[in-house]
Structure formats: C-alpha cells, structure tokens
Amino acid sequence: MTAALEIDDLWVEAGDPDDPLVLVRGVSLTVAAASVVGLVGESGSGKTVTCMASLGLAGRGVRITGGSVRAQGIELVGADERTLMRVRGGVVGTVFQDPLSSLNPLQRIGDQIAEAVMLHHGGRRRSHHARVVELLAKVGVPAPEQRARAYPHELSGGLRQRVAIAMALANDPALLVADEPTTALDVTVQAQVLDVIRSATRDEARSALIVTHDLGLVAEVADRVAVMYAGQIVEEGPVASVFQDPQHPYTRGLLASRPVLAAGRRRLGAMVGRPPLPGSWPAGCAFAPRCPVATGACGEAPPIRTSDQGWSRCWHPGSGETTATSRAEEGAA
Amino acid sequence: MTEGVVASVDPGATAPPSAGRGRRGRRARRLGAMTVRLLLTLLGLLTLLFFLVRLSGDPAGVLAGPSATPQQLEAVRAGLGLDEPLLAQYAAFLGDVVRLDFGTSVFSGESALGTALGALPATLVLLVTTMLVSVAVGIPCGVLLDRGGRVTRAVVGTSMTLAQAVPTFVLGILLIYLFAVRLGWLPAFGSGTAATLVMPTLALATFAIARTARMVAAELEQVEDQDFLRTAAAKGASTRRVLWRHALPNAFPAVAAALVVEISYLISGAVVVEVLFAYDGIGKELVDAIFARDYPVVQACVFVIGVFVVVVNVVGDGLLRALDPRIARARA
Ligand SMILES: Nc1ncnc2c1ncn2[C@@H]1O[C@H](COP(=O)(O)OP(=O)(O)OP(=O)(O)O)[C@@H](O)[C@H]1O
Ligand code: SF4
Ligand SMILES: [Mg+2]
C-alpha cells in the first residue's frame, strides 16, 4: 500500500541563497497508511518547518534544496501549483497550532469550511451547507446549524480548533497534518480536542502526522514517534519501544523531563541547557554539548543504527547503563 | 465517513450572542466622547475663523465701498455691531452660528449659508468620483507594490512617489495643457457636465491613488504572515484566491479607515482644484468670497466644510465598525 506521506532526505533552508541558513538537514520520515506518527523535539528543532515545507506552505524565503516528499505517491517537491492545490486540502488536511489566528476573522466559520469543500468539489459555497453541518457535528460542535453562522471570535478556543479540524477533514483527506493542535488550548479542553483527532484517525483509518511537545499525547494517539533535534531526526520507532527503551540520549532526556512518564524510573539524562539555533549547530553530533554520555567520537557525525523496528543516530545508542559501560570501555581502550 | 464521532462539549463554549448592558454603555460613552470631541473641533475652527477675519481687514470698509466718508463707515460698523468690544462680538457670532444665521452675502444679498450649501453638491460629486477612482486604481497598484516582481515594484513605486511629489496645481496645469490645449479633448474649465469632471478628478485623485496604494501595500504586508492565509492555502486555495478572498478583505478595514481620513484632506485639495478648473464647488465659492471680502459667505463656507468633515468622520467610524464583525457583532 502506498504510504500516506514519504519524506525522503529533505533539506530546507532560508535566507540569502549565497549564505543560507539551513533549517532542516536530511529528514526522512514515513507515515504509513492508516498510521499515526508523532513528531517531537524541543522548540526550534525544525518540526514546523519540516511539515510546512513539505506542503509548500513555509513562508517566503524558505526553500527546499533537496529531497523528495510524496503524499499518497504524489511528488510535491517541485510540483506545479495545480498539483499542490489538489493535494492540499484534498489529500492532506492541515491543522495549525493557534485556532484563532488560523481562521479568517472576517468570515463565518461555515463559509470557511464550505470554501474547503468547494475548492475540491466545485459548486458554490452555499450549496455545501449540508456537508458543513455534518462536519461540524462530526467534530462535536454543538448546535452546528447555528454555529455555522458564527464568526471565529464568537467561539471558545476548543470550538475553534474543532472547526479547524472539521475544515481539514472537509474532503476526507488520507492524511492529517496537525502542528501542535492542542498546545494553545486550556488543559481541560486539550483532552477533548485530542479525542476528536483520535476519532478522525483511528476510527476512520486515516493517517496523521502530529507535531507536539506533549509526549503524553504521542503515547495516546501515535503508533510511531520521530524525535527531532537541530534539524535532524535523531530517533524513530514504534511508540511503545521508543518510550520503553529509548536508544538516543536526547530521547531519554526528553522522557526524563516529563514528570509523569519519568515517575518510578531513573531520572537519567534529564537535560541541561538549551537546544542550539539553526546556524549554530555543532559539527558532528549536534547534541554532544548537552549529552551526558558524549565521548570524543561524537565530534564526528554519528552513524544510523537500526534497532528493533526503529533507528537512531548516535555513537552510543542503547539504554543509560549500556552507554555508560561502553563509555567506560572506550575510556579503558 | 463515519458519523458524529465525538459529541462532548467544551465548557463555556461560546460568548453569548447578545451582548450585555456593559457593551451598550461603552458604546454610548464612545459616541458621546466622539461627539464632544467633534463639537470642540468645530468650535475651535469657528473661533479661529472669527479672529482671522477680524485681523485680516475691516469688513465695514468693504461694505461701505472705497468712496465712503468716515461717517458712513461708522454707521456701517455700528450696523454690523463692529463697534462693540471683541468679546461681545465673538459671543454674538457664536449665537448666530447656533441659530445657523450667517447673514447675507455682501454682494448678492442672498443667504450666506444658502450660498455655501448650494455650492456643496458639486464638490460632493467631485469627492465621490475622486474616491472611486483612487480605490479602483489604488488597490491594484497596492497589490502590485506588494506582490509584483522586482521590475513591477520599482515602476509602480516610482510612479507613486512621483504622484505624491507633484503639487496638485502643477498637475492640474499640466492636465489642462495636455488635454485641453494640446489635444482639445476636454474643456479646460467649467462645471455641470461629465467632461468637466474628468480633469479635476484626475488632479485630485492622483495623490489619493498613491496614498491608497501605499496603504494597501503596507496592510498586505501586515496581513502577509497571518496564519489564516496559510490555512486558506492549506485548504487548496490558489495564491490569487488567498490574496483576493482572504488577504485583501482583511487589509480593507484599515485601508477604509485611512480613506475616511483622506476625505478630510481631499477637501483642501478640492479648493485648489476647483479654483484651477473654475469648477463651481464650495472650494471655489470660499476662495471667491475671500478675495471679495464677503465675510458672511466665507464664514458660512468654512462652517459647512467643517460640519462636512465632522460628519464624514462620524460616518466613517460607523462604517469601520460595520466592516469588521469582531466590532459589529459586539454591539448587537
Ligand atoms: N523563514 C525563516 N527564516 C529563518 N529562520 C526560520 C524561518 N522559519 C523558521 N526558522 C527557524 O527555524 C527553526 C525551526 O523552526 P520550527 O518552527 O520548525 O521549529 P519547531 O520545531 O516547530 O519549534 P516549536 O516547537 O517552537 O514550534 C527556528 O529556529 C526558526 O527560528
Ligand atoms: S552521538 Fe554522542 S553526543 Fe551524540 S547523542 Fe550519541 S552519545 Fe551523545
Ligand atoms: Mg512549531
């Protein structure tokens, strides 16, 4: 079966072409049919840029300089606008972080959803009213008939994000890309919106790529997880095995900084310092300055090691102790 | 698709559609404050006018004529109340204004206010055509300024700078020379026909077009990075659709606000243009009256123009609120 999304060695940069700022370097990521992938990593690691550049939605001045992105087998890198328009909204539905700013403040929400349908099915916006109401009901918006006439500012944050999801699902896309869909919401509402996303994916066999800081969210909805650091994916694998037995020290650090997950576990590798910004990524392993188990070898770009059903990018992969041991060995050698 | 998968409801799901008393009170206070501000503006304008007229010469001298004897002059002065203390004259003047009594034209003997009001419609027509032209040309120019290629941006940008740099009367003279003298396509001056409207409109609109274009470009740049434009693109909208259906409508309220202010400026430009093209509007009436020292008409014209600017600002404010549902709906 065709994968819903195949990102292959994607390179993205911004700024002056003669002195570019590299934002994403060689990201490869596959979202299989009917599977949900969580993309995690600290702020500035390039998660949003990866998603948006893939869909050609990154801002002015952001360019893809290498690699390929296929959505349902359709190549998007270098595609003409017609192809991109067909894929966006039709094959891939997108949900953004801030539901208020991502809705047009001057249009009724019903009209905005109807526009999404119209762009792929033709007709007039008004003729899609029934579908709009159906979509609103589906994402749990109460009194959808009336709500369709509301403006974004008249809805709560949770309802707005439901509207945004309804809009993304308008044409029954094979893939849902959601960039931190719950981050801007109240904690109480996050769980509800997560429910909506879960039903839109699990229950309808839809694939999804979900960007988030929330490892708990990943544990709940994702099948696989990709961990991003300094413009690269450093570890990828099934959620269960990555969370149980993280291979990359950065993944271990992320997990350790999460109180709920870390409870009862050794707080090995809780992270110090801040992630480096694009343009100041260390050579070799970019995580080395913060890595508790770094060695001299880490000044070279680490190799990719496959494990179980995933892989990681580290000289000393494995659990905390093994790494400590291997370091001791290296020191002895 | 499967149906109704999730039906839980957010607590406090919506703002109540009917706004509370607080909002209505705020609105009344806002309107009240605006009215007071505008009345004060009008009062200031009239006060300035009163003293300027008294400083600029002796109305009695004009009325009585150059051959009048000192006795005659004195009689006219007494008749006009000009022999009273300045403050008393000022109070009497304000009293007249409140009663809308500006006296009669020194020359025609007709009501000064009637003369001013009679000249107003022609000016309104000129302002309306000017606004239409500046919006119709200014918005596309603004889009080109923001979205055009390097060359387009340079060409449009330079034209706009030029349009703003050339004084209105110079432009007017150039237009007359070109269209009336050289080409003979249009009458050089006059009013009352569509053809006489063309050159005054062009002369007046050129500056407004440039300002509108710059405003549109600036607003588009503001709106540029807004998430909802990315959302529209993510739905499958074309670049053009994103621009015309989402970016421009959101840029428009701010542009409209600027345009309303622009009308106030246009009035002063209209004075120049009307005189230049002998277009019978209130601007020309005012200038003619000033040269003739027909003070009642001068005062009436300034008063009418002042009230017009005030009304434009009030209507403009209401229009803006109507354009943006975030404000409009809050009043319900
Ligand atoms: N157009 C651009 N020009 C220059 N730098 C950019 C541009 N867009 C993004 N960046 C930079 O690229 C880096 C990665 O940004 P990105 O938004 O992808 O991070 P992220 O992983 O999504 O972080 P967050 O969790 O904060 O959303 C950031 O440091 C950002 O400043
Ligand atoms: S390569 Fe070295 S520095 Fe990088 S994460 Fe692995 S052990 Fe740490
Ligand atoms: Mg992001």
Letter for the amino acid at B275? V
User: Do β-strands A36-40 and A310-313 pair in parallel, antiparallel, or remain unpaired?
Assistant: unpaired
The domains found in chain B, sorted by start residue, are 28-98 (no CATH), 112-330 (1.10.3720.10)
* Centre of ligand 2 from the C-alpha of residue B308, in Å: 74
3-state class of B312 per DSSP? helix
Residue A34 in this model has a pLDDT that exceeds 70: yes
Contact residues on chain A for B236, CB-CB shorter than 8 A = 85-90, 116, 119-120, 171
Average pLDDT, chain B: 80
Helix ranges (H only) for chain B are 21-55, 59-64, 70-80, 86-98, 112-147, 150-165, 168-175, 194-224, 227-235, 239-241, 248-276, 282-291, 295-323, 325-328
Mean pLDDT of B323-329: 69
- Phi/psi at A195 (nearest 5 deg)? -55, -45
Of A297-301, A306-310, B33-37, B219-223, where does mean pLDDT reach its minimum?
B33-37
Core vs surface per residue B91-117: b (16+ CB within 10 A) or e: eebeeebeeeebebbbbeeebbbebbe
Question: Are A180 and A118 spatial neighbours (Cβ–Cβ below 8 Å)?
Answer: no
Q: What angle do CA A286, A289, A293 make, to 5 degrees?
A: 100
- Check if A95 has its Cβ closer than 6 Å to any atom of ligand 2: no
State if pTM tops 0.95: no
Q: Ligand 2, closest atom to CA A286? A: 4
A79 at interface of B, judged by CB pairs closer than 8 A: no
Give the span between the Cα atoms of B268 and B226, in whole angstroms: 37
- Check if A231 has its Cβ closer than 6 Å to any atom of ligand 1: no
Position A319 confidence tier, pLDDT thresholds 50, 70, 90? low
Instruction: Quote the pLDDT of residue A269.
Output: 47
Contact residues on chain B for A168, CB-CB shorter than 8 A = 234
A90 at interface of B, judged by CB pairs closer than 8 A: yes
Closest chain A residue to B326 measured between Cα atoms? A153
What would the pLDDT profile of B200-248 be if each residue is shown by its tens digit? 888 899 988 998 999 899 988 888 888 899 999 999 999 999 999 999 8
Nearest to B200 by CA among B213, B212, B190: B190
3-state class of A300 per DSSP? coil
Q: How many CB pairs under 8 A join A and B?
A: 132
Domain boundaries of chain A, sorted by first residue: 5-91+173-331
* Centre of ligand 3 from the C-alpha of residue A211, in Å: 7
B325 at interface of A, judged by CB pairs closer than 8 A: yes
Nearest to A282 by CA among A273, A290, A293, A272: A290
Q: Between B188 and A115, name the one with better pLDDT.
A: A115
Q: Closest ligand to A275 CA? A: 1
What would the pLDDT profile of B51-109 be if each residue is shown by its tens digit? 877 766 666 666 666 677 777 777 777 766 677 777 888 888 888 888 888 888 877 88
What is the CATH number assigned to the segment(s) A5-91+173-331? 3.40.50.300
Longest dimension (CA), chain A: 75
CB contact under 8 A, B235 and A200: no
Direct distance between the N- and C-terminal alpha carbons of chain A, in angstroms, rounded to an integer = 48
Instruction: Quote the pLDDT of residue B63.
Output: 65
Q: Ligand 2, closest atom to CA A285? A: 4
User: Do β-strands A92-95 and A175-179 pair in parallel, antiparallel, or remain unpaired?
Assistant: parallel
Contact residues on chain A for B220, CB-CB shorter than 8 A = none
* Centre of ligand 3 from the C-alpha of residue A41, in Å: 10
User: Number of C-alpha atoms within 13 angstroms, CB side, residue A125?
Assistant: 12
Nearest to B306 by CA among B113, B111, B131: B113
Q: Could you count the other beta carbons within 10 Å of the beta carbon of residue A35?
A: 20
CB contact under 8 A, B231 and A102: yes
What would the pLDDT profile of B24-40 be if each residue is shown by its tens digit? 677 778 778 877 877 88
CA-to-CA dists, residue A126 to A116, A135, B246, angstroms: 12, 15, 18
Q: What is the 3-state composition of chain A as percent helix, strand, coil, each rounded to the nearest 5?
A: 35, 25, 40
Average pLDDT, chain A: 89
Q: Which pair of tokens denotes residue B327?
A: 């404000």
Q: What angle do CA B148, B153, B157 make, to 5 degrees?
A: 140
What would the pLDDT profile of A146-183 be if each residue is shown by its tens digit? 999 999 999 999 999 999 999 999 999 999 999 999 98
Sign (positive or negative) of CA dihedral B307, B311, B312, B314? positive
DSSP letter for each residue of A86-148: HHBTTTEEEE-S-TTTTS-TTS-HHHHHHHHHHHHH-S-GGGGHHHHHHHHHHTT-SSHHHHT
- Check if A286 has its Cβ closer than 6 Å to any atom of ligand 2: no
Closest chain A residue to B7 measured between Cα atoms? A140
Assembly ipTM: 0.88
Q: Ligand 2, closest atom to CA A316? A: 7
What would the pLDDT profile of B105-154 be if each residue is shown by its tens digit? 877 888 889 998 999 999 999 999 999 999 999 999 999 998 888 898 89
Question: Are A85 and A119 spatial neighbours (Cβ–Cβ below 8 Å)?
Answer: yes
Q: Ligand 1, closest atom to CA A41? A: 21
Give me the residue from A88, A98, A195 closest to B8, CB to CB: A195
* Centre of ligand 2 from the C-alpha of residue A304, in Å: 12
Locus of tokens 């580290």: A314
Q: What angle do CA B168, B171, B172 make, to 5 degrees?
A: 85
CA distance A218 to chain B (A): 20
- Chain A residues 132-151 with CB within 8 Å of chain B: 134, 137-140, 142, 147, 150-151
Question: Are A93 and A169 spatial neighbours (Cβ–Cβ below 8 Å)?
Answer: yes
